[in-house]
Chains A and B, each alone.
Chain A
Amino acid sequence: MHIEVDGHGVYCYTNSRAIDASKPSIVFIHGSGMDHTVWTLASRHFARHGNNVVSVDLPGHGRSDGPPLTSIEAMAAWVIAVIDTLTIDQVALVGHSLGSLVALECAATQPHRIRAIALVGTTSPMPVSDAILDAAEADDHAAFDMLTQWGFSKRHQFGGNRNSGIWMIGNTLRLYERSKPGVLFHDMRACNEYTAGVAQAAKVRCPTLLILGAEDRLTPVRGTRALQEAIPAPDVKVLPGAGHTIMVEAPNAMLDALHSVL
């Protein structure tokens, strides 16, 4: 589905369905440099289970136009503008990595609009190494390489995809390569500069699920303690064997976990 927000074209994957006001709605938000396709399995699943699914391409990503947004706060405001445009009152948000920070910010600032959040591969603060930032700013392929390799658990460096025939490393790398110049840098910098996460987490009142990869090297489980302590009564699922790219590394376990809040 193509809509317009702030004068720019926006693509939302909806499983080829119109928004039905009688159904609950779920918005999926991808991570840095990615697009809506990372949520294909999950969005298809929850669409069949009676939900409106809206898997967005953030501005400048995938099929959406416009310049990339430069802060988590701006992205959160944009997500709210998207659901306004779709005339949806209340949504559950599922976000991965950068997307999880956007979901958190939305839940903190627009509590009446957000009925639940699922933060996948998350932590806050989410510092990004200078090596990645520098490479991303230079549009150096090394940024894609670092994020791809560190984005998977050590065991998944060799694949082992349960989704037949897809080389998980190659497909992720190709998604980064498809991102427009500068987009990854803006995303990574937004993650790096978003320091309000723990404070915002304390404001969250909706059911909150954290899905973490036990072998995540970009947002390690041990780094999520402050976030877990700030959120009132979070449901935390740690998926064994998974790294940061949880949608690919543990698609079925993630799907099962999501049912606890969706």
Chain B
Amino acid sequence: MAAPDYPGLDTLALHAGSQPDPATGARATPIYQSASFCFPDSDYAASLFNIERAGHVYSRLSNPTNAVLEERIAALEGGVGAIATASGQAALHLAIVTLMGAGSHIVASAALYGGSHNLLSYTLPRFGIDTTFVDPRDPQAFANAIQDNTRLVFGETLGNPSLDVLNIPAIAEVAHQAGLPLMVDSTTTTPYLIKPFELGADIIQHSATKFLSGHGIVIGGLLVDSGQFDWDTSGKFPTLSEPYKGFHNLVFTEEFGPAALIQRARKEGLRDFGACMSPTSAFHILQGIETLSVRMSRHVENTRAITAFLLEQDEVTRVGYPELDGHPDQALAAELLPKGCGAVFSFDLKGGREAGIAFVDALSVFSHLANIGDAKSLVIHPASTTHHRMDADALAAGGIGEGTIRLSIGLEDPKDLIADLKQGLRAARKAAGNS
């Protein structure tokens, strides 16, 4: 007798975590827009506060709509549990403050989203948590940077801005040999393109604002726990393996086993730092996840069409997509990301800053804004916006040229996107000729 198959990704994306609403029979997950929930009697209330019953007390701690989203992303990633947070940044912060305190250290890829880099570089050091940044393409660099007080290894599945493919199996091995967990930001890949837990990662962070919700209408984050890391054996995580005075000396590994991390993050971090997700946001993200596979496959298909077009253009000097010849991670991408490398990439224009500005201003289908992962195609010129304070040398150190353009490819008809890009290239050529 063969074991039955688990439900597939597409099915989980539609159903995981949800049941028809027990109160009304509503098939769609209702938005439980309520700050708090009534207790039928005092003993029931006490049992909820003391983690004896399943249920909800106050929406900063848990909420029925958010719970569906949390269970759904945990199912899609193959973890034990998840927490929905106010933003992707809140999810990153929640993981860090659950695992460590002042005097701790993180080893992180140098190729991170700017917001994550800011948190690790400038903000957390004020609270006694330092980070060493290393080349994401060099697992040995991660190993070399680990210190006695290191408590986390962190990287993005596809690094920013050059789409460095994180060698999750190799870096997970480095982390595990040192008794440390590997956390990855899988925002640009989603569980449709990569399953980091199957490759050895222990924790996943998402900005659900991007491809998971998929329509640019909501801010939200998700923290997912694989349940695979053995916190007791590591011995480096007293927040999980020693009594917690903030909850009657509860020892999270003792009481929750594989779910120790995500339970501590909820019972302490969500409770005390309070960066919870709005139930309405959770509803919107759930709607997005229902079509995740359909959208992601089209995002990738369109991206391949656009990169192929750009490669042929005289005005373009480089197209940085890991599937293309010349990208240093082409082979690793084929191994770890066979379904595609997402829909966000950058390319370089001849003519530098002026050409980049002219290109962006000439587009009409692409929206000029600071976001990625929308159903609509997006564009930004880093040298004149997100990185405008940097000179050419500083930009180059970050892998960005003055003529670098970042695109987030949406779901439009690719012929219309190409027509729009032709308008931009014409303007860029003109600007380059005038400069």
Contact = CB atoms under 8 A, between A and B. Distances in A.
Interface stretch (B4-12, B124-132, B405-413): B4-12
A37 B1 CA distance: 30
A40 B71 contact: no
Given A165-B266, A174-B258, A252 B71 contact: no
B50 interface: yes
Contact of A37 (B50, B54, B62, B255): B255
B240 interface: no
Nearest to A166: B81
A35 B257 contact: yes
A166 B51 contact: no
Interface of B: 1-4, 6-7, 11-12, 15-19, 46-47, 50-56, 61-63, 66-67, 70-72, 74-75, 78-84, 227-228, 243, 248-251, 254-259, 262, 266
A171 B62 contact: no
Contact of B75 (A13, A145, A169, A177): A169
Contacts of B83: 165
Contacts, number: 150
Given A161-B67, A175-B257, A48 B46 contact: yes
Interface residues of A, number: 44
Contacts of B15: 158
Contacts of A162: 54-55, 67
A85 interface: no
A149 interface: yes
Given A48-B50, A149-B4, A158-B12, A167 B74 contact: yes
B256 A37 contact: yes
Nearest to A134: B1
Given A165-B266, A167-B74, A157 B7 contact: yes
Contacts of B257: 35, 37, 62, 174-175, 178
Q: Which 6 A-B pairs have the closest CB atoms?
A: A162-B54, A45-B52, A131-B1, A167-B74, A164-B62, A163-B54
8 contacts: A16-B249, A42-B52, A145-B6, A160-B71, A164-B54, A164-B61, A171-B258, A252-B53
Contact of B81 (A167, A175, A251, A252): A167
B81 A41 contact: no
Contacts of B4: 145-146, 149-150
A165 B6 CA distance: 20
B1 A170 contact: no
A169 B11 CA distance: 15
Contacts of B80: 166-167, 170-171, 174
A160 B56 contact: no
A205 interface: no
Nearest to B227: A174
A41 to B, nearest CB: 5
B405 to A, nearest CB: 39
B81 A170 contact: yes
Contact of B54 (A41, A63, A149, A177): A41
Contacts of A167: 16-17, 71, 74-75, 79-82
B18 A165 contact: no
A55 to B, nearest CB: 10
Contacts of B79: 167, 170
A171 B81 contact: yes
B266 A164 contact: yes
Nearest to B224: A167
Nearest to A255: B53
Contacts of A35: 257
A129 interface: yes
Interface in A116-130: 129-130
A174 B228 contact: yes
Nearest to B69: A165
Contact of B3 (A62, A130, A149, A159): A149
Given A165-B62, A167-B17, A167-B82, 5 more contacts: A159-B71, A159-B72, A160-B71, A166-B259, A167-B80
A236 interface: no
B52 A41 contact: yes
